[in-house]
Amino acid sequence: MDAQQITGYLKQNNSHHIKFAFADIDGILRGKLIHRQKFESGLQNGYGFCDVVFGWDSADQAYDNVAVTGWHTGYPDKNCRIDLATFRNIPWQNNIPFFLADFSGADKEGVPCPRTLLKKIVSACADMGYHPEFAQEFEWFNFSETAKSLQQKSFRGIEPVTPGMFGYSILRLSQQSNFYLDLVNLLEEFRIPLEGLHTETGPGVCEAAIIHDHALAAADKAVLFKNAVKEIASSHGIMASFMAKWNADLPGCGGHIHQSLWNTDKSHNLFYQADAEHGISELMKHYIAGQLYCLPFIMPMYAPTINSFKRLVEGAWAPTTITWGIDNRTAALRAISQSAKSARLETRIPGADSNPYLAIAASLASGLYGIKHKLPLNIKPVQGNGYLDTSNGTLPKNLLEAATAMQQSDVARELFGNTFVDHFTATRVWEWRQFNSQVTDWELKRYFEII
C-alpha cells in the first residue's frame, strides 16, 4: 500500500491514531502513539524524534562516553522516517495501525540506527547481485510473574510457568494451550507467521522459528516478534524473558540466524551445488570463510550484554569455538545442505538477547566479506564435539574483551564504518562499566563473613 492507500484506509476505518516504533542500539522498541493528522503530515519529510534514544542504555541512563549525542549536543531531534511497507494492525490492541521506522532520513548526521545499518548492508548485497534470505529463531523462558511481582521479590524466587526439563513436550503445550494458540494465531495476524513452536529443555522454555524472508523483513519480524511475545504473554499473566542466561543451572536462550543467498529472482539457491562435496557451493564456502574470519571482530553484535557470554559455555547448546560443521549443533556455524530448497547456513552464536538488526547485519556483512575477498575455506568441518576443537581459536570470554577487539578492528570498520563502530563499542564498554561498579549477591555470599 502506498501513502494514499494507507491514508484512505485509516479514514475508512475511522483510525484516529497510529503507533510507530524503531529499535534502539539494544534492539528495544522505542516509539509513540500519534494522531492520524500528524502521521499524514510527516509522511514526506519525516518526524522529529529526540536522539536521546541513541544516547542512553536499556535502563535509560545517559552514556558519558559517546560522541553522537549527549549533554554536549543538547539532545536535539533527529529525522525519523516511517517505512510504509511495514504497515500492519496489532490484533491484541484493537487492531490499531502500526508501522516500523528508522533514522535513514538522518543518516548523514551520523545517527547509529541499527535498521539503517542493515539497509546499507542489504543494498550492498543487492549491488553484488544477491538476494539475502534470512530467518531468526528464538528460545525464551516464560514465568508466572509480572513486572511488579519481580520488583517486589527483588528478582528472587522467580517462578517458571511449568516445572521440569521437558523438551518437545506436547503435554506442556496443551497445559498452556490458550497462551500458545494465542501466540501462533495473533502473530500470524500480525504478519509474523511461525514455521514452528515447541517447548525446549528447561522449565517454561519455548522455541519459535519465524518463516524466512528477505533479510530486512526478517529482521523487522524478529524485532517485532520479541516485543509481541512479551505483550501477548502479559495478557495471560505471564512474563516472557529473552535474557540469554537467566539461571546458571539451565541452558541459555539462543537467537540463531538461518541464511542463504539466492539470485535476484529467487529461482536458484546459490548456496547449493548438487555435484559438490556436501552439496556446498563455492559461494557458500566463501561466505562461511568470511563469517569465520570476521567472527572475533564482530562478537558484540551477536552477544551484546554481560549476560550474553554466560550462555556461551561448553555443553549448554551454545558454541565456544570458531568452528563450522555439517549439520553439527556443537559448532559456531552449522551448514545444512541436503537440497536446493533448504540449503542454508545457521549462525549459532547469537543469543535471544541480540538486536536482530545488528545480528543479521553482522552475519550478512561478514559473509559478503568472504565472497568479496574470495576467502578460501581452509578450516575443515568439525567432526563430533566442536567444543574440543580449538585449532582455529575460541570465542571471546566476556563483553569487554569482545568490545575492545571490535573497537580496534580494521575489519569491523570496513564492514560497518567508523561512526557505528565507535558508538556501538563505546556503549558496550559502558555496559561493562555499569556491571563492574556493582556489588553482586555472589560477592556478598563469598566474602561478607569469611574474608
12-16, 17-21, 103-107, 306-310, range with the lowest pLDDT: 103-107
CA neighbor of 135 nearest in space, from 73, 41, 218: 218
Residue carrying C-alpha cell 524466587: 157
Cell of 81: 522516517
In this predicted structure, what is the pLDDT of residue 49?
A: 96
Is the model's pLDDT at 47 over the cut of 90?
yes
In this predicted structure, what is the pLDDT of residue 394?
A: 96
**CA atoms of 444 and 448, how far apart (whole Å):** 5
In this predicted structure, what is the pLDDT of residue 291?
A: 98
Q: C-alpha angle with apex 31: 355 to 10, nearest 5 degrees?
A: 120
Query: Per residue in 328-358, pLDDT tens?
Result: 999 999 999 989 999 999 999 999 999 999 9
In this predicted structure, what is the pLDDT of residue 269?
A: 98
Kindly give, in sequence order, each residue whose CB lies less than 8 Å from that of residue 386, ignoring residues fewer than 6 positions away: 319, 321, 323, 325, 328, 330, 331, 332
By percentage, how much of the chain surpasses pLDDT 90?
A: 98
Q: 124-153+208-442: what fold?
A: Creatine Kinase; Chain A, domain 2 (3.30.590)
Say which CATH architecture domain 3-111 belongs to. Answer: Roll (3.10)
In this predicted structure, what is the pLDDT of residue 108?
A: 79
Give the pLDDT mean for 238-267.
Answer: 97
The answer to whether the Cα torsion of 225, 141, 133, 308 is positive or negative is positive
Chain centroid to CA 367: how far? Answer: 17
pLDDT band at 110 (very low <50, low <70, confident <90, very high): confident
**CA atoms of 163 and 205, how far apart (whole Å):** 10
By percentage, how much of the chain surpasses pLDDT 70?
A: 100
56, with CB counted inside 10 A (0-12, 13-18, 19+), is buried
Kindly give, in sequence order, each residue whose CB lies less than 8 Å from that of residue 77, ignoring residues fewer than 6 positions away: 48, 49, 50, 51
* Average pLDDT over all residues of the chain: 97
In this predicted structure, what is the pLDDT of residue 105?
A: 86
In this predicted structure, what is the pLDDT of residue 246?
A: 97
In this predicted structure, what is the pLDDT of residue 79?
A: 96
3-state secondary structure (DSSP) of residue 54 = helix
* Same fold yes or no, 3-111 and 124-153+208-442: no
Q: Give me the residue spans of the domains in the chain.
A: 3-111, 124-153+208-442
In this predicted structure, what is the pLDDT of residue 328?
A: 97
Kindly give, in sequence order, each residue whose CB lies less than 8 Å from that of residue 41, ignoring residues fewer than 6 positions away: none
Cell of 256: 540463531
**CA atoms of 128 and 372, how far apart (whole Å):** 9
- Whole-model pTM above 0.85? yes
In this predicted structure, what is the pLDDT of residue 109?
A: 82
Amino acid letter at 218?
A
Q: C-alpha angle with apex 54: 90 to 294, nearest 5 degrees?
A: 95
